[in-house]
Amino acid sequence: MQNHSHIASVLVRILIREKDVGYNDSVVIGGLDQFLTSNSDALSAIENFQMVSYSRITLAEREAWSTRIVSLIKPSARKIGQVSGNRARNTSHVMGLSLDSSVKDLKLYNRGKMWDLLKDGFGIETIGDLISHFPHRHDDYSDVRKIGSLIAGEKQSILATVWDISLMPGKGRRKGRVVVTFYDETGSIKVILFGQQWAIRDLQPGTEVMLSGDVSNFAGRLTFGSPVYEVLARGEKNLHTGRFVPVYPMVAGINGKSLRNVVRTALASAVDKTEEFLPNSVLERTGLMRLSEAVARYHYPKNYKALLDARRRLSFNEFFLMRLVAEKRKSEWKRDKSSIPLPSSEIVSNFISSLPFVLTSGQTTALQEVLKDIDSSVAMRRLLQGDVGSGKTVVAAAAMLCAAANGLQSAIMAPTEILAEQHYLTITNLLGSESPEGRDFIHIQIEGTSRTLTLALLTGSMSNKEKKNIQTAVSLGKVDIVVGTHSLLQEALNFPKLGLVVVDEQHRFGVMQRNLLQENDPRPHLLVMSATPIPRSLYLVLLGDLDLSVIDELPGGRKPIQTVVEPSQRRVNVYNVIRQEVKKGRQAFIVFSLIDGSSAVEARAAVEEHLRLSTQVFPELTVG
């Protein structure tokens, strides 16, 4: 009687929640029909209870049936609930948990070590944290077949019975293997379980099992390779087999089955507490599912479409919230601190006129936008986007020249020393001077004025003496433009009159490194340059706190940039292209993406690759 009361009260809560979500059959993972079927004995004991196939009736029929069942059960559920004992109290406790409740409140048997591992590995402490620990993929075991219909080379599942099981001892240090024969009405199949001696206890002859995995042909017979099995108790829903099975990021000491079990329990206890922040009108207009349903479905989707729909809603959340954060940053940037206006002057006009080429229309537009921004007490925060060779550095140089004309300093930062040195040479050449080697500073006489501009290059590979000289000069305000890498920050550089910061390739430069330079008061103007093509819609999400200027054309005579992505198996083709270009007198750079890793690891990787490339791939070429 107590069990019947418990099931009835759970059904009432389910139907009330179904009403909240529009009777869309999303409250119960796996669908309400599964709950009704699994508990049919208990529910049939309720007087006048009528079973239905919830998934097959219309929304109006679902509403009418749910209303009748709730009114039918509620009075008796309250009466019986008063004497339902510890089981009902425990159920009430679990059902009453919130997303902020500790995972330990789930009261699962012998999970203390797991909670510690999840906290140390992923910072999971609350039920909300656990529910938000999403799978990084799903194994599709939803193709459930009879043994006689299995096909080699596909992921499939069978519902079968154990016919025979035996343990084959291992030799030496090798663990034993368990050989199991399963059967159904269409045939039998033999499966080997390596290192799973406990299966002898689980898979006794006559046990009904759901088995999932990759079907392969071995020695002329079909078998499962590294399968997952699940012993099915009466009325129990399969969790690890025969469906889309979530595969979670793991830590040592926790297996996939255990983590799926606790996540499933957490979902059942509190996923309906997930707060929906989108209005119904937005959900209807966009076709997005409710957040609580998306969370549940992403963990345990019914099919591939349900998985995509859940991912669409969760992805919308990410982009929407990132966009809000970007707008917040943009608002705070304009409100918190003021900047020093940098009105354009004749020096900038003379600089543009002195160039040995004419700016493209894209460069001209971008320069006008930048000069307008910096002539304001609200600090500029602009992204300058354009392909390699489109002339972004010219725009940046003009802006830095404008800052110098107003008596302020500029800093341009690049993610690598090679790029920093390239910017340094390009800027000095644009300003009408060649950069002699071996000098800490470059002094350039600006044409048409008596103004002398001082530039300095600062990189981590310089000697301590060189860096000290530059740091001192910068702190005394004697350097107008500093070009460098993250050394600008790591070496405790002090800018007394910083008016403009230029950052090349923002996504490769540390957020903290940029923000430190922006803490100055008054706040310097910020110009970010990037050659990374990015759709405008994605830009608004990721970099929406920056205004956007695009240089969409190359200067005359420049060949268009061609970007090609080759898979690793075509690496030899890339090497052949490099050989051809070198034979034409050109050079090639091979760049590794080990950023922000340990210097020791990066050095070893570079040395090893250099050795391999110079001895095995390009022995006939000079590899530096």
Rounded-to-integer distance, Cα 551 and Cα 531, Å: 10
179 and 283 share one domain: no
Q: Does any domain span residue 151?
A: yes
290 and 189 share one domain: no
Domain boundary, last residue among 183, 215, 242: 242
Among left, alpha and beta (phi > 0; psi -120 to 50; other), residue 389 is: left
358 and 313 share one domain: no
Q: What is the mean predicted confidence (pLDDT) over 390-405?
A: 91
pLDDT beyond 60 at 89:
no
Mean pLDDT for the chain? 80
361 and 423 share one domain: yes
Rounded-to-integer distance, Cα 78 and Cα 9, Å: 8
pLDDT beyond 60 at 508:
no
Q: Does any domain span residue 518?
A: yes
- pLDDT one-digit tens code per residue, 170-192: 766 567 788 999 998 888 999 99
* Banded model confidence at residue 602, pLDDT cuts 50, 70, 90: very low
pTM reported for the whole predicted model:
0.60
328 and 350 share one domain: no
Q: Does any domain span residue 607?
A: yes
What is the number of domains present in the chain? 5
pLDDT beyond 60 at 79:
no
pLDDT beyond 80 at 595:
no
411 and 495 share one domain: yes
379 and 322 share one domain: no
The whole-number pLDDT of residue 82 equals: 34
10 with 91: CB under 8 angstroms?
Answer: yes
Q: Does any domain span residue 455?
A: yes
Q: What is the DSSP string of 86-134?
A: HHHHHHHHHHT--TTSBGGGG--TT-HHHHHHHHHHH---BHHHHHT--
pLDDT beyond 90 at 338:
no
The enclosing domain of 503 has a CATH number of: 3.40.50.300
- pLDDT one-digit tens code per residue, 355-371: 888 888 988 999 999 99
pLDDT beyond 70 at 412:
yes
CA 33 to chain centre: 35
Strands 244-247 and 137-140: antiparallel
Domain boundary, last residue among 301, 334, 367: 334
The whole-number pLDDT of residue 621 equals: 83
Rounded-to-integer distance, Cα 145 and Cα 161, Å: 14
- Highest average pLDDT, of 24-38, 43-57, 470-484, comes from 470-484
Q: Does any domain span residue 170?
A: yes
Of 470, 444, 468, 472, residue with least CA distance to 457: 470
* Banded model confidence at residue 8, pLDDT cuts 50, 70, 90: confident
498 and 583 share one domain: no
b/e burial code for range 93-119 (CB count within 10 A of at least 16 → b): ebeebebebebebbebeebeebbebbe
Phi, psi at 591, each rounded to 5°: -105, 135
The whole-number pLDDT of residue 366 equals: 92
Rounded-to-integer distance, Cα 399 and Cα 528, Å: 12
The whole-number pLDDT of residue 87 equals: 33
Q: Does any domain span residue 340?
A: no
The whole-number pLDDT of residue 298 equals: 93
517 and 580 share one domain: no
Domain boundary, last residue among 520, 551, 582: 551
b/e burial code for range 377-399 (CB count within 10 A of at least 16 → b): eebbbbbbbbbeebbbbbbbbbb
237 and 185 share one domain: yes
- Which neighbouring-strand residues pair with 528? 383, 503
- pLDDT one-digit tens code per residue, 273-307: 888 999 999 999 999 999 999 999 999 998 889 99
- Which neighbouring-strand residues pair with 455? 442, 481
3-state SS string for 495-518 = CCCEEEEEEECHHHCCHHHHHHHH
* Banded model confidence at residue 319, pLDDT cuts 50, 70, 90: confident
- pLDDT one-digit tens code per residue, 449-482: 677 889 999 888 888 888 888 889 998 989 999 9
544 and 597 share one domain: no
Q: Does any domain span residue 113?
A: no
pLDDT beyond 80 at 557:
no
Residue span of the structural domain in which 32 resides: 2-95
pLDDT beyond 50 at 76:
no
441 and 371 share one domain: yes
Q: Does any domain span residue 136?
A: no
